[in-house]
């Protein structure tokens, strides 16, 4: 695989070359010395390369987006990954709108993420782009259908805006997630759509809509913003905040200093406090559900399996388990009733992983993991992290009564370190 790198920093080009040499033996990096070569001419042979890594800010007033617009229609132009040191939603969204296969922030870049992005970019073929265009058209028809049906229906809430779809950015078992633009003000956002035509279980629909209904009531900087949501006979949707800086799972690939780990955990628990105050348990707290905005502030996201604590109807029967086994409290793993202290336990698992880069419990099956959560002793931190052991002990206590009784109490413990 031949990769072309266009960046105005010699040091960064050398670093990328080193990463690829160590972690991606199949790659051959072509180092384009922009300081000597300047802008590629009309006879430049782009077809020699499988992937283009293109800097957003090329120095000397040159703009990578301008180059992308100018050259992308040329024969053999390769899939492009935009690189930038700026964590701005505008840059991320514009890169995708211009047809880039991906967007990577240099501040969060790791060898593993770079290699993964390159491999995925090679799969961004013209056929794949055509498939995404088809998805966009279908999604736009869907929103219009939702709008028309809600106008005739007594169901609430009613969709207030139409959306322009940019690209599919995720897909689950029952839902698709799109990067979209609100037509009324060009706000870039994420649109999550669930098709309910073939579902026999109304629980899935209720749970999906709870994500919007519960979180839309919050006004917390530590919780995802919900802009709009709707329900029709065949579909429901949620329009929510777009996060350009990725998730905590990506950050945890880096070696985070302990003071930054404490800072992240404190903000996560502020988010828990906000949702607990309206009677919501997250029930799936994990790194992939902690998102970062362009200003590097984090927020809790993905409340698809949250529930109202004072609800008269349970969304799961006793013994049914929802969540991610690595971060699941003992009582959740056993299918028992849970409350806010289950999220406190999950936060303790996260904190241990933030501090050590390791999960406290490892097993080959979900059942074995749940067994460890229930019976294995609380793990010991390395000696250099011993001052955090008391918080680990109390958050990861096996019985809920032995944990911090509330998020506020955990915040106080973290802020007193």
Which whole number is the average pLDDT over 29-51? 91
Tokens representing residue 92 in the block: 């991320």
Residue for token pair 């047809």: 99
Q: What is the average per-residue pLDDT within 127-152?
A: 62
- Per-residue pLDDT at 387 exceeds 70: yes
Q: Give per-residue pLDDT as tens, 42-91.
A: 899 999 999 999 999 888 788 899 999 999 989 999 999 999 887 677 88
Of 95-109, 118-132, 294-308, 344-358, highest mean pLDDT = 344-358
Buried b (16+ CB within 10 A) or exposed e, 183-195: eeeebbbbbbbbe
The residues near 16 (Cβ < 8 Å, ≥ 6 apart) are 5, 7, 29, 53, 114
Asked whether 251 and 267 are in contact (CB, 8 A), the reply is: no
**Confidence band, pLDDT 50/70/90 cuts, at residue 165:** confident
Q: Is the pLDDT of residue 160 over 50?
A: no
Higher-scoring residue by pLDDT: 143, 239: 239
Which is catalytic among the residues 55, 284, 302, 343? 284
The answer for residues whose C-beta is within 8 angstroms of residue 353's C-beta and 6 or more apart is: 252, 287, 359, 360
State the pLDDT at residue 181. Answer: 87
Of 266 and 244, the structure prediction assigns the larger pLDDT to 266
CA–CA gap between residue 105 and residue 148 (Å, rounded): 40
Strands (E), 269-337: 280-281, 290-292, 298-300, 307-308
Q: What secondary structure does DSSP assign to 127-168, as a single string?
A: HHHHHHHHHHHHHHHHHHHHHHHHHH---SSPP---EEEEEE
Maximum pairwise Cα distance, the chain: 71
Calculate the alpha carbon distances from 112 to 16, 99, 118, 179, 352 in Å.
12, 23, 10, 24, 22
The pLDDT score that the predictor gives to residue 264 is: 97
Round the average pLDDT of the chain to a whole number and report it: 84
Confidence tier at 355 by pLDDT (50, 70, 90): very high
pLDDT above 70 as % of the chain: 81
- The whole-number pLDDT of residue 305 equals 52
Give the pLDDT confidence score for residue 106 in this predicted structure.
87
Query: Average pLDDT for residues 318-344, to the nearest whole number?
Result: 82
Q: Average of pLDDT values for 179-187?
A: 86
Q: Residue 161: is its pLDDT beyond 70?
A: no
Q: Which two tokens stand for residue 23?
A: 């972690």
Is 223 in a helix, a strand, or coil? Answer: strand
Q: In terms of Cα–Cα distance, which of 342, 322, 340 is closest to 330?
A: 342
Q: Report the pLDDT averaged over residues 248-252.
A: 90
Give pLDDT, residue 280.
85
Instruction: Give pTM, 2 decimals.
Output: 0.78
Residue 295 pLDDT grade (very low, low, confident, very high; cuts 50, 70, 90): confident
Residue 328 is predicted with a pLDDT of 92
pLDDT band (50, 70, 90) for residue 201: low
Q: 96 falls in which pLDDT band (50, 70, 90)?
A: confident
Confidence class of residue 315 from pLDDT cuts 50, 70 and 90?
very low
Instruction: Please say if 284 is a catalytic residue.
Output: yes
> What's the confidence (pLDDT) of residue 359?
94
| DSSP-based three-state secondary structure for 327 | helix
Return the pLDDT at 356.
95
Q: List domains and CATH numbers for the chain.
A: 2-124 (3.40.50.2300), 128-240 (3.30.200.20), 248-415 (1.10.510.10)
Comparing 200-204, 208-212, 410-414, which segment has the lowest mean pLDDT?
Answer: 200-204
> What are 404's two structure tokens?
């911090």
Q: What is the mean pLDDT of residues 388-410?
A: 97
């Amino acid at each position: 695989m031949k990769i072309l790198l266009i960046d105005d920093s010699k040091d960064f080009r050398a670093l990328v070359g080193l990463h690829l040499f160590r972690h991606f033996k199949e790659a051959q990096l072509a180092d384009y010395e922009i300081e000597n070569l300047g802008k590629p001419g009309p006879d430049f042979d782009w077809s020699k390369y499988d992937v283009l890594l293109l800097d957003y800010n090329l120095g000397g007033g040159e703009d990578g987006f301008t180059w992308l617009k100018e050259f992308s229609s040329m024969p053999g132009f390769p899939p492009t990954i935009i690189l930038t040191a700026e964590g701005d939603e505008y840059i991320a969204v514009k890169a995708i709108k211009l047809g880039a296969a991906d967007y990577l922030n240099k501040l969060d870049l790791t060898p593993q993420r770079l290699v993964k992005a390159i491999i995925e970019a090679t799969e961004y073929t013209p056929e794949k782009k055509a498939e995404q265009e088809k998805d966009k058209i279908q999604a736009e028809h869907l929103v219009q259908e939702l709008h028309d049906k809600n106008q005739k229906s007594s169901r609430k809430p009613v969709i207030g805006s139409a959306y322009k779809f940019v690209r599919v950015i995720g897909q689950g078992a029952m839902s698709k997630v799109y990067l979209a633009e609100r037509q009324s003000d060009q706000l870039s956002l994420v649109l999550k759509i669930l098709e309910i035509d073939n579902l026999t279980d109304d629980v899935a629909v209720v749970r999906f809509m709870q994500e919007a209904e519960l979180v839309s009531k919050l006004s917390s900087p530590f919780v995802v913003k919900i802009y709009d949501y709707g329900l029709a006979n065949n579909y429901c949707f949620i329009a929510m905040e777009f996060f350009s800086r990725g998730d905590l799972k990506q950050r945890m690939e880096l070696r985070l200093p302990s003071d930054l780990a404490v800072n992240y955990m404190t903000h996560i628990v502020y988010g828990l406090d906000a949702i607990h105050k309206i009677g919501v348990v997250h029930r799936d707290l994990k790194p992939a559900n902690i998102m970062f905005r362009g200003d590097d502030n984090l927020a809790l996201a993905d409340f698809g399996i949250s529930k109202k604590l004072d609800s008269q109807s349970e969304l799961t029967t006793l013994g049914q388990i929802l969540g991610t086994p690595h971060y699941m409290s003992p009582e959740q793993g056993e299918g028992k009733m849970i409350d806010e202290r289950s999220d406190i336990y999950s936060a303790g698992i996260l904190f241990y992983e933030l501090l050590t880069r390791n999960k406290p419990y490892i097993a080959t099956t979900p059942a074995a993991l749940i067994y460890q959560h229930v019976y294995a002793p609380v793990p010991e931190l390395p000696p250099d992290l011993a001052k955090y052991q008391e918080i680990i002990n109390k958050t990861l206590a096996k019985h809920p009564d032995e944990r911090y009784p509330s998020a506020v109490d955990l915040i106080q413990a973290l802020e007193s370190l």
